Amino acid sequence: MQFDTTRFGMMEIEEKELINFPWGIPGFEELKAFVLLEYKNGPFQWLQSVEEPSVAFVVCPPGVIGLDYKIPESKVNVIKLERPEDLLVLNIVSFNREKGGMRFHARSPLIFNVAARVGYQWTMEAEEMKRHLIVPTEAPTDLD
């Protein structure tokens, strides 16, 4: 399957590489098909829409900044997770080029069932963050 991207030009992937977001991503609900692209052998990746060339998110594992999540059963049921080893959690990272800063979106992790190729963005309320986000004592203070 071929698709065009604003950042990477024309790309070709196999259908089995697609990740389906049945409800889209908040703000981009109409986009359902994405693919994860490696970025320079580091912890960051691109979550690229295959339907809209200009939509791509920088993502990375929460462990990069020392965070972890206790994902409740109600959320893993949404992605039909059957085996714990098929769970992948990533967070969107945005960059402010003018200020030279980075924002890690801790409140809205992306959860994936890698076996079923299904993803979902879980946006947590404050109470959920207290129960499900594991933050080390030396964590950055500018978490979303």
In tens digits, the chain (144 residues) has pLDDT values of 999 999 999 999 999 999 999 999 999 999 999 999 988 888 999 999 999 999 999 999 999 989 999 999 999 999 999 999 999 999 999 988 888 888 999 999 999 999 999 999 999 999 999 999 988 755 555 555
| Inside any domain, residue 141 | no
Domain containing residue 130 = 2-134
Which pLDDT belongs to residue 140?
52
| Inside any domain, residue 91 | yes
| Inside any domain, residue 95 | yes
> What CATH number is attached to the domain comprising 33?
2.30.290.10
**Burial status of residue 29 (CB atoms within 10 A of its CB: 0-12, 13-18, 19 or more):** exposed
Domain count, the chain: 1
Q: CA–CA distance from 104 to each of 6, 47, 58, 85, 113 (Å)?
A: 23, 15, 10, 24, 22
| Inside any domain, residue 105 | yes
Q: Measure the N-to-C terminal CA separation of the chain; round to a whole number of Å.
A: 35
d(CA 47, CA 38): 9
| Inside any domain, residue 140 | no
In three-state form (DSSP H/G/I as H, E/B as E, the rest C), the secondary structure along 32-62 is CEEEEEECCCCCCEEEEECCCCCCEEEEECH
| Inside any domain, residue 58 | yes
| Inside any domain, residue 35 | yes
Which residues lie across from 88 on neighbouring strands?
112
Q: Which amino acid is at 99?
A: K
| Inside any domain, residue 142 | no
